Amino acid sequence: MLLFFRVALIVLKSLFRRRRDMLAESLLRLRVWPTDMDLNFHLNDGRYVSFTGLGRIDLMLGSGLLRRAIKRKWYPVAGAAMIRYRREIGSFERFALRSRIVGWDEKWFYFEHRFEKGGDLAAISYVRGLLRKREGPVPTPDVLALIGHLDPSPPLPDFVERFP
């Protein structure tokens, strides 16, 4: 339930921000609440993955994509995720989630999510996702055209090859 309120807050804040380029970084400042913790009283490993979804929502809202996609009855879907944990984020600690689109191909968008605590990397996640409609995936060129982004993808990083 707490994620619902976090999503609502991200949507509310997006109403008062300027539209940004789709390749611009999203920055969310978050805190570990009791509903985010596991039995070791630090951020639950599954919650990291849930937080990456918040980063992607913020990216799509910031570029104007989410509102336009919803009008067309397109919805975002994550197709795969990889994560590496480096440092724990303890109970009630503040941390930053930096999210960005690192590139795309004909079907997928590729995202990087960095969890930082006190300026140090705590975890890094890579996610591939797309937009779907009832009939199936929306081709990447159609998604890019929707927000007027005509530039080609930046070179795809090595992690893309590791997705199944």
Instruction: Give 62-108 pLDDT, tens digit per residue.
Output: 999 999 999 999 999 999 999 999 999 999 999 999 999 999 999 99
Check if the beta carbon of residue 52 is closer than 8 Å to that of residue 127: yes
Say how far apart CA 164 and CA 160 lie, in whole Å: 9
- Specify the CATH class of 23-162 in words: alpha beta
Instruction: Give 9-23 pLDDT, tens digit per residue.
Output: 999 998 888 888 999
Say how far apart CA 142 and CA 27 lie, in whole Å: 26
Give the domain ranges of the chain.
23-162
Instruction: Give 42-52 pLDDT, tens digit per residue.
Output: 999 999 999 99
